[in-house]
């Protein structure tokens, strides 16, 4: 995980809207990056959240590693966000949702990321934003002049003051509130905050929705760099941050009374897409573990690592020595372990096939040839957490094919720079094919193995009614929907019609 630095061209290239100018204190905002709008920065530990930006069918292992290492009113029964994409490193490398913004509403495709807070979309003023995508989706640039409900967020707005930790230098009436987001893979976005209506699908019955909306403050991207710029052919309109801080969409909707601060995702690592829903999940039931307090990301306490039926010989201080806990992040692909855990785990996995010829690919990946079933030839890995919650990772999850080899997805975070060394971070390698429930009302997270091509049940806590929410796959020009998905084409067509996709 390389330390992130703001690109030099970022500060002098943010295009202003015709009726206002970006303030000169953007430089001060960049300098004070630890007070940035997003919790994607650990200002106490130097840890930057990891994003998965690669959406192509092919990519090098070095590019894969570079990505990961650099990176009330009446409460609604629930919200259903249809998903597209797939997160495996040997397939399309992200999950994305379709939302509507503005009046009249326009559609935007945004990456769903629980590792960051800020929601942003590319803005009409942006000169370096992508105009087309090889994903087979139509990209849209946000233009406030096309929306009857859109408005500028000034620098003296309470939201601006809160996310920046106080007043900004040189703030004057009618000046915009700027933002800058620097991601761990070296990409960045900068612009200004807007407020507009976001359209989403409210759960109204079994596999049925009606249109609902809420006012949300989001970033209007005026300058992008790295994989967020026009150089990236596999582009999206922006990012939908679902982190735990006040700037995130879930926090904003909850603070206005539109939803409870509870959501769940089930990322289908086999068929693509899956389930992403806001609300109280009542089926399947999941056991939970408490969130580590005072952490900007979703962090929990790991207590042990088991390989098949044998626990690794680890002392308690290995797990208790890092106050950050174990971070869960849907925007990261692989899984990162402290060196002492990593070494024991890899040695134990390889010991199951002592005749393997190990290859080190790109000086980073442990790979080998294996012609038989990996699930028969290698052990399951079970991670243990507080409250006796376990998370089982199968060989077909932690092993991925590359150039005729099988490579191990577990990574050694002990090789990272000192300020990020020995972090424990679990990405899609671990989270796919599991229902993960985030209950911020009670400060717990839970999960269970689940068929993410099926459905879950959400409860309306006001009326007590329970409704089914099904899985989705947003079709595109590079659709990865495979035979065997549980949703029939007829049902999918009906759902698309209901959701006005």
What's the pLDDT score for residue 440? Answer: 94
d(CA 150, CA 216): 10
**Which residues have a catalytic role annotated?**
113, 329
Strands 326-328 and 424-426: parallel
What's the pLDDT score for residue 82? Answer: 53
**Per-state percent for the chain, helix, strand, coil, to nearest 5:** 20, 35, 50
Longest dimension (CA), the chain: 71
**How many H helices and E strands in the chain?**
10, 31
d(CA 226, CA 313): 42
Candidates 342, 379, 385, 381; CA nearest to 364 is: 342
- SS3 string of 294-327? CCCCCEECEEEEEECCEECCCCHHHHHCCCCCEE
> Comparing 14-44+75-258 with 287-446, is the CATH topology the same?
yes
How high is the mean pLDDT in each 10-residue block of the chain (501 residues)?
Answer: 26 33 37 32 26 40 56 42 55 75 95 90 89 84 96 94 88 89 79 94 89 92 82 81 91 86 92 90 96 92 96 87 82 88 96 93 89 97 97 95 92 74 87 95 96 93 87 59 28 32 37
Tokens of 256: 């206005």
d(CA 473, CA 361): 33
Q: What sign does the dihedral 158-163-164-165 (CA atoms) show?
A: positive
Candidates 452, 435, 436; CA nearest to 444 is: 436
d(CA 320, CA 306): 17
What's the pLDDT score for residue 64? Answer: 57
What's the pLDDT score for residue 65? Answer: 57
CA angle (139, 240, 96) in 5-degree steps = 60
Asked if residues 444 and 436 have their Cβ atoms less than 8 Å apart, the reply is no
Candidates 375, 450, 367, 353; CA nearest to 410 is: 367
Asked if residues 469 and 78 have their Cβ atoms less than 8 Å apart, the reply is yes
Asked if residues 110 and 96 have their Cβ atoms less than 8 Å apart, the reply is yes
d(CA 117, CA 36): 11
Residue 263's CB is within 10 A of a number of other CB atoms, namely 26
Q: Which residue has the tokens 């406030």?
A: 144
Please tell me what DSSP assigns to residue 33.
G
Candidates 85, 1, 96; CA nearest to 40 is: 1
Domain chopping of the chain, boundaries = 14-44+75-258, 287-446
What's the pLDDT score for residue 137? Answer: 84
Asked if residues 190 and 14 have their Cβ atoms less than 8 Å apart, the reply is yes
Strand-pairing partners, residue 198, are 101, 214
Asked if residues 204 and 85 have their Cβ atoms less than 8 Å apart, the reply is no
What's the pLDDT score for residue 68? Answer: 58
Please tell me whether residue 336 adopts helix, strand or coil conformation. Answer: strand
Burial of 254 (0-12, 13-18, 19+ CB in 10 A): buried
CA angle (109, 249, 299) in 5-degree steps = 105
Fold assignment, 14-44+75-258: Cathepsin D, subunit A; domain 1 (2.40.70)
Asked if residues 113 and 240 have their Cβ atoms less than 8 Å apart, the reply is yes
Tokens of 234: 């596999």
What's the pLDDT score for residue 385? Answer: 96
Indicate the CATH number for domain 287-446: 2.40.70.10
């Amino acid at each position: 995980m390389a330390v992130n630095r703001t690109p030099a061209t970022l500060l002098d290239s943010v295009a202003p809207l015709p009726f206002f100018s970006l303030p000169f204190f953007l430089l001060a905002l960049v300098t004070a990056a630890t007070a940035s709008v997003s919790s994607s920065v650990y200002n106490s530990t130097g840890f930057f959240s990891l994003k998965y930006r690669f959406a192509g069918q092919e990519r090098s292992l070095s590019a894969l590693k570079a990505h990961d290492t650099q990176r009330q009113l009446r409460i609604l029964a629930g919200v259903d966000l249809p998903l597209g994409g797939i997160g495996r490193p040997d397939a399309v490398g992200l999950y994305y949702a379709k939302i509507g913004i503005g009046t009249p509403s326009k559609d935007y495709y945004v990456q769903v990321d629980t590792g960051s807070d800020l929601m942003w979309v590319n803005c009409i003023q942006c000169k370096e934003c992508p105009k087309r995508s090889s994903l087979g989706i139509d990209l849209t640039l946000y233009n406030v002049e096309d929306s009857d409900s859109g408005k500028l967020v000034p620098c003296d707005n309470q939201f601006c003051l809160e996310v920046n930790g106080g007043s900004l230098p040189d703030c004057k009436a009618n000046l915009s509130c700027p933002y800058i987001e620097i991601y761990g893979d070296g990409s960045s976005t900068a612009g200004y905050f807007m407020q507009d209506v976001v359209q989403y699908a409210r759960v109204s019955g079994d596999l049925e929705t009606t249109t609902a909306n809420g006012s949300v403050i989001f970033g209007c991207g005026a300058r992008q760099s790295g994989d967020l710029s026009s150089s990236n052919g596999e582009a999206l309109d922006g990012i939908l941050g679902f982190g735990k801080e006040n700037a995130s969409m879930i926090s904003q909707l909850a603070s206005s009374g539109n939803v409870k601060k509870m959501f769940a995702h089930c990322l289908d690592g086999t068929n693509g897409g899956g389930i992403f829903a806001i609300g109280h999940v009542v089926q399947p039931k999941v056991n939970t573990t408490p969130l580590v307090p005072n952490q900007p990301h979703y962090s929990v306490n790991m207590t042990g690592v088991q390989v098949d039926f044998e626990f690794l010989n680890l002392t308690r201080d290995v797990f208790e020595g890092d106050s950050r806990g174990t971070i869960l992040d849907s925007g990261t692909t692989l899984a990162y372990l402290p060196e002492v855990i990593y070494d024991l785990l890899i040695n134990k996995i390889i010991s199951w096939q002592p005749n393997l010829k190990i290859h080190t690919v790109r000086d980073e990946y442990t790979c080998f040839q294996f012609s038989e079933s990996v699930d028969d030839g290698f052990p399951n890995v079970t991670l243990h957490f507080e409250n006796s919650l376990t998370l089982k990772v199968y060989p077909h999850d932690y092993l991925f094919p590359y150039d005729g080899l099988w490579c191990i997805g577990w990574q050694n975070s002990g090789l990272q720079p000192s300020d990020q060394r020995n972090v424990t971070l679990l990405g899609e390698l671990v989270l796919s094919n599991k229902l993960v429930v985030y209950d911020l009302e009670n400060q717990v997270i839970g999960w269970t193995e689940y068929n993410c091509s099926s459905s879950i049940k959400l409860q309306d806590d006001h009326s007590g009614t329970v409704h089914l929410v099904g899985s989705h796959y947003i079709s595109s020009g590079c659709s990865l929907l495979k035979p065997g998905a549980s949703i029939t084409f007829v049902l999918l067509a009906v759902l698309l019609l209901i959701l006005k996709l």
